[in-house]
Amino acid sequence: MSSSVFASLGRRASQVGLLDEAEELRLIRAYRRTGDKNALHRLVEAHLGMIMGCARRSKGSARHAEDYVNEGVIGFIRAIDLFDETKGTRLSTIAKFHVMARMSEYALENMSSVPTYGGRNQRAAYLHMRKHMADDVASGDRLMSHEETQQIASRLGIDSEDVTYVAQRMAGGDVSIDGHVSTGNGDKAALAEILADTAPHPEDELILKDELQKNSLRMRLAIGKLTKREAFILAERRLKDPPVPLEHLAAMYGISKGRISQIEQQAITMLKEILAASPAPEERRTRRIVHRRG
């Protein structure tokens, strides 16, 4: 929706007359009973001024006011669906609440392309600060003071750390990795070009994979030197999650739980000794080659 369309809607809203209570109820019933689109259109037109007023007052987001109009209409339609004519109130009484709620939700979901707030406390802080925070704080021109942070945290009953995080996040905004930043001496470069790559180097990955394969082979060879009972108990107690209870193994072998625990510890000690005394497979291979050449 362009700005010209938004202005046109404003003129249209000023020209459309308000509905009296009887006509409003008739249109609400027509829409809710049969889905009459003409009735819905007439209701939206009659309340368009209110919806646009809410859109203009929305702040704390990079979105234009016209974006909020569409969301406001969605909130307004929800108000129609929930309207209870037996309460004796006008539609506008509850409609404004649903319109503002929908706009606030939209702002929260779209202010950042990165997931921003986690948990109810940070969402509450954002919605409160978006409405009440001073413009110089929201724009990042001034940091929120400790007293302001404590006041908001106390008012909402949340931790001050949540308030501080939200305030910093609102002031900071998003930065595109395709954007250019200064690198000194008047030069500029794309942010993606100067960010450090934390991914492991392919050569390091190959070395790590090779080491894992060697260690896995050493472990299999070492376990092969244990007795079958030692190897089985060690595997059941140390390689399974959760480990097999001692009483199950004790019942299987017809011995006490203490004896099972003793065999487990003995197997671990023996395994450490075997691994410490046994060189890596590659080292043994190199020694055999050197011996034959000698």
Counting residues of the chain whose pLDDT is more than 70, the rounded percentage is 67
Query: Contact, 206 vs 196, CB < 8 A?
Result: no
- pTM (2 d.p.): 0.42
Mean residue pLDDT across the chain: 76
What mean pLDDT do residues 213-234 have? 85
Q: Which pLDDT tens digit goes with each residue over 84-141?
A: 888 888 888 888 888 888 887 777 666 554 455 556 777 777 777 766 665 555 555 5
How far apart CA 218 and CA 61 sit, in angstroms, is 59
pLDDT of residue 293: 39
Residue 292 has pLDDT above 50, yes or no: no
pLDDT of residue 291: 43
How far apart CA 196 and CA 37 sit, in angstroms, is 56
Q: Tokens 């539609």 correspond to what residue?
A: 91
Q: Among 106-115, 213-222, 266-275, which is the least confidently predicted range?
A: 106-115
pLDDT of residue 192: 63
What mean pLDDT do residues 67-85 have? 88
How far apart CA 179 and CA 192 sit, in angstroms, is 8
pLDDT of residue 256: 92
What mean pLDDT do residues 149-166 have? 82
Neighbours of 48 (CB within 10 A): 20
How far apart CA 191 and CA 161 sit, in angstroms, is 29
How far apart CA 200 and CA 202 sit, in angstroms, is 6
Q: Which pLDDT tens digit goes with each residue over 101-111?
A: 888 777 766 65
Query: Contact, 84 vs 109, CB < 8 A?
Result: no
pLDDT of residue 226: 87
Residue 142 has pLDDT above 70, yes or no: no
Q: Which pLDDT tens digit goes with each residue over 20-42?
A: 889 999 999 999 998 899 999 88
